[in-house]
């Protein structure tokens, strides 16, 4: 009846129990009447204090977890995309838009990029793209062979076969 009440909310539990007791009718066919029923609940001060402390810690822990999740969502949606970061900054600090607004924003984006663990691979991708833009067919074939070998070596056999098919590589991969 009051099992989903906290030890701290005794008034709620007492009310729930007394509401149920007020609806009791007894057993009229046996001449049993219930005229009145009432319950009072209490918890000693030490138990109440420990319960309050436990609920406070539980609440603090849940609040911290929610804040960390909110910050992670913010980081993954706003800070990883320069356009989103710029829009957020402009909406959040419109009074700061001045001559150096773009410089300040670029500084912010550079600081954020340093904390992004995938940023290194984005840079590697840009380097590879630069190589691909300037490479002759033989260099492209060599790069495809290295990629195929690496994929095969580390267990990505289907992808290695796709690379081989795309570049018509029929080289044996030796480990």
pLDDT score at 36: 78
Give yes or no for residue 10 having a pLDDT over 90: no
Is 38 among the domain residues?
no
pLDDT score at 118: 67
Is 139 among the domain residues?
yes
Is 130 among the domain residues?
yes
Calculate what percentage of the chain has a pLDDT beyond 70.
Answer: 81
Is 23 among the domain residues?
no
Give yes or no for residue 167 having a pLDDT over 60: yes
Is 109 among the domain residues?
no
What is the average pLDDT score of the chain? 80
Q: For residue 74, what are the CA distances in angstroms to 8, 80, 150, 162?
A: 36, 9, 35, 37
pLDDT score at 175: 47
> In this predicted model, what pLDDT tens digit does every residue of 71-84 receive, in sequence order?
998 888 887 777 77
Is 141 among the domain residues?
yes
Secondary structure class of 118 (helix, strand, coil): coil
Q: Which domain holds residue 160?
A: 119-167
Q: How many domains does the chain have?
A: 1
Is 146 among the domain residues?
yes
pLDDT score at 116: 62
Query: Is the separation of the CB atoms in 162 and 140 below 8 Å?
Result: no
The model's pTM is: 0.40
> In this predicted model, what pLDDT tens digit does every residue of 79-115 receive, in sequence order?
777 777 777 877 787 777 766 766 776 777 677 666 6
CB < 8 Å & 24+ apart, contacts of 45-53 = 47/7, 48/7, 48/8, 51/6, 51/7, 51/8, 52/8
pLDDT score at 141: 86
Calculate what percentage of the chain has a pLDDT beyond 90.
Answer: 13
Q: Name the band, by pLDDT with cuts 50, 70 and 90, for residue 135.
A: confident
Residues 153, 41: Cα–Cα separation, whole Å:
70
Mean pLDDT throughout 121-140? 84
Is 123 among the domain residues?
yes
Element (H, E) at 148: helix 137-153
């Amino acid at each position: 009846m009051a099992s989903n009440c906290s030890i701290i909310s005794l008034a709620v539990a007492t009310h729930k129990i007394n509401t149920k007791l007020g609806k009791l009718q007894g057993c009229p066919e046996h001449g049993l009447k219930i005229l009145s029923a009432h319950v009072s609940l209490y918890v000693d001060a030490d138990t109440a204090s420990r319960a309050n402390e436990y609920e406070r810690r539980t609440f603090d822990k849940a609040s911290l977890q929610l804040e960390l999740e909110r910050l992670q969502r913010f980081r993954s949606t706003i800070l990883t995309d320069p356009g989103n970061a710029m829009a957020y900054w402009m909406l959040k600090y419109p009074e700061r838009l001045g001559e150096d607004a773009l410089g300040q924003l670029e500084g912010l984006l550079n600081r954020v990029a340093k904390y992004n663990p995938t940023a290194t691979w984005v840079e590697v991708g840009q380097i590879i793209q630069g190589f691909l833009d300037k490479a002759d067919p033989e260099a492209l074939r060599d790069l495809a062979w290295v990629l195929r070998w690496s994929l095969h070596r580390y267990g990505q056999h289907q992808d290695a076969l796709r690379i081989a098919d795309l570049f018509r590589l029929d080289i044996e991969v030796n480990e």
